[in-house]
């Protein structure tokens, strides 16, 4: 078995370097940059908000692949086709990586994905970072005449096909997706010869397989202690597989940023409701356990988007402020006062559960 290209060298593209900095957590944001009830957002003004996020120092702006609306799922992302959406946004987002989280490999032909990805990479000057997945909406599969149970195999075959198209001028590949015999090639090719690829979640593969074949891992929010153990296991598998490079870990995070900077962090579905100080503290803990990039999702955010972006720009999230030690001490003191109040009004059991849940999630 040949050594996978991702184990030999890290991607040298502008987008990958923008997203992953050595020993430093970076922050991105998902489209739509909007809060909304229901599953369909209002996209008016997304261009201006994307410009603000880009100028504010967000390292990546993420697009999603949702071919069909499942009214029971609860979220259709930014509605538009991800490739057309990114092409539209290139003139508004001039420095941030253009990341996908994620393209559903079993639902699209590998040649179409490779063509679209290489085109966006060329048009953006090498800023595409390609997150891929098997898909989480079963209702879509029969519409594409794809067996849901076969998505794992289709994912592996598609990924191999796409990488062959990216890297070879005479590609040879045969699988259930089709056959190419070296007499035709993909054009355009990506800038830098390949595009960084991140595997989302498990994608129906073993963690070892993902560690061998991905340039990075895109995972989901978890309590700090649990996430730290998974990052350690990922790093162990990357190293034990013989990789010569470190493969970073990224995660998503729903946020609801309170206008009170001292507001207590409270877990919400796949994320955190918090003031600025609590969010900074949480991000610092993620950085310490080895998370390289956090992609915010602001669907549940209750504040105006311009305010939220201003408060989470480069100056707020890239590093903790110089007074961070004092702020954390004050934050912990506030947590103790909160526990006393809960105990006074609701009794020990609820106090214990509330404080334990919050502490475990944010890593206090």
The alpha carbon of 224 is separated from its chain's Cα centroid by a whole number of angstroms, namely: 17
CA distance 128 to 82: 12
Q: Tally Cβ neighbours within 10 Å of residue 184.
A: 11
Over the chain (364 residues), the average pLDDT of each successive run of 10 is: 74 95 94 96 97 97 97 93 98 98 98 98 98 96 97 98 96 97 97 94 97 97 96 97 93 97 94 96 96 98 95 57 51 60 52 50 63
The alpha carbon of 233 is separated from its chain's Cα centroid by a whole number of angstroms, namely: 19
CA distance 136 to 138: 6
pLDDT digits (tens, 9 = 90+) for 193-229: 899 999 999 999 999 999 999 999 999 999 999 999 9
Helix (H) or strand (E) run with residue 69 in it: none
DSSP 38: S
Res 312: pLDDT: 85
Res 336: pLDDT: 59
pLDDT digits (tens, 9 = 90+) for 324-343: 445 555 655 666 565 565 45
**What is the pTM assigned to this prediction?**
0.88
What DSSP string runs through 139-198?
A: THHHHTT--GGGHHHHHHHHHHHHHHHHH-SS-EEEETTEEEESS---SSPPTTSS--EE
CA distance 39 to 146: 25
Res 323: pLDDT: 47
Residue 234: closest CA among 222, 221, 218: 218
Helix (H) or strand (E) run with residue 128 in it: strand 128-133
């Amino acid at each position: 078995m040949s050594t996978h290209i991702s184990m030999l060298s890290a991607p040298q593209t502008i987008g990958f370097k923008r997203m992953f900095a050595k020993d430093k957590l970076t922050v991105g944001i998902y489209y739509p940059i909007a809060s909304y009830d229901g599953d369909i957002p209002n996209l008016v003004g997304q261009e201006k908000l994307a410009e603000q996020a880009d100028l504010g120092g967000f390292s990546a702006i993420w697009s999603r692949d949702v071919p069909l609306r499942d009214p029971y799922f609860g979220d259709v992302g930014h509605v538009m086709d991800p490739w057309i959406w990114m092409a539209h946004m290139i003139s508004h987002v001039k420095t941030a990586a253009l990341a996908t989280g994620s393209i559903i490999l079993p639902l699209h032909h590998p040649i179409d994905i490779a063509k679209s990805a290489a085109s966006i990479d060329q048009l953006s000057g090498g800023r595409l970072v390609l997150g891929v997945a098997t898909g989480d909406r079963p209702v879509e599969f029969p519409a594409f005449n794809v067996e849901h149970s076969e998505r794992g195999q289709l994912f592996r075959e598609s990924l191999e096909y796409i990488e062959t198209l990216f890297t070879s001028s005479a590609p040879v590949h045969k699988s259930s997706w089709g056959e190419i015999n070296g007499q035709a090639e993909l054009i355009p090719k990506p800038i830098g010869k390949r595009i960084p690829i991140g595997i989302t979640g498990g994608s129906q593969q073993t963690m070892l397989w993902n560690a061998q074949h991905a340039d990075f891992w895109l995972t989901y929010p978890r309590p700090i202690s649990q996430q730290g153990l998974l990052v350690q296991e990922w790093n162990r598998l990357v190293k034990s597989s013989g990789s010569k490079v470190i493969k970073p870990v990224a995660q998503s995070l729903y946020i609801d940023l309170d206008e009170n900077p001292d507001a207590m962090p409270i877990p919400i579905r796949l994320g955190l409701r918090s003031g600025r100080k609590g969010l900074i503290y949480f991000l610092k803990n993620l950085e310490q356990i080895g998370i390289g990039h956090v992609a915010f999702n602001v669907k549940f955010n209750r504040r105006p988007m311009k305010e939220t972006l201003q408060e989470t720009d480069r100056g707020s999230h890239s590093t903790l402020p110089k007074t961070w030690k004092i702020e954390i001490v004050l934050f912990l003191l506030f947590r103790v006062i909160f526990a006393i109040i809960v105990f006074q009004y609701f009794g020990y059991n609820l106090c214990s559960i509330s404080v334990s849940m919050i502490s475990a999630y944010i890593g206090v």
